[in-house]
Structure 1
């Protein structure tokens, strides 16, 4: 297991232990980075207008199209670390 992969796995555990729930935009960013890191570029049909949450998730993930998986993992790790230190919300 690579160092980035180990840190990514730890960040996934750490994010569940946060004392404060991040804001919706931060949660979307975490979601999109996680999906990009684990599944690559967005795929599937964009949800319809009735599925607002699904549409926002899809758009956030699509915005990362072309981002390398290791880059997405690194950005996810950095975001979780900033949440743990209280620098982001």
Structure 2
């Protein structure tokens, strides 16, 4: 069996995640998924203080900043790992 490349596995995990409902995931898991997704797709977070302070966005930005030291590849791996563990719980 040929192992799928990282980008393919990441795209598949994103597809699985898009079919999950927010209500089915604890908020801490949602924040971790958000942070790893952003790090994997945009790279290191750049904090931007704006006039439109929103507590929800502040939590999301904080989650992203906390993991901004990891590489894009590691963020993809962590995202895939979380999705796989969630899928395994459903089975």
Q: TM-score, normalised by structure 1?
A: 0.85
Structure richer in helix, relative to its length: 2
Specify every segment of 5 or more residues in structure 2 that has no aligned partner in the other structure, as ranges: none
Match of 2:19 in 1: 17
C-alpha RMSD over aligned residues: 2.1
Alignment length (residue pairs)? 86
CA distance in 1, matches of 2:49, 2:84: 31
- SS of corresponding position for 1:86: helix
Structure 1 regions of 5+ residues with no counterpart? none
Give yes or no for contact 1:36–1:42 (8 Å, CA) kept in 2: yes
Distance 1:51 1:13, change over 3 A: same
Q: Secondary structure at the match of 2:20?
A: coil
Give the conservation status (yes or no) of the 8 Å contact 2:47–2:61.
Answer: no
Larger Rg: 2
TM-score (norm 2): 0.83
Q: 2:84 aligns with which of 66, 81, 84?
A: 81
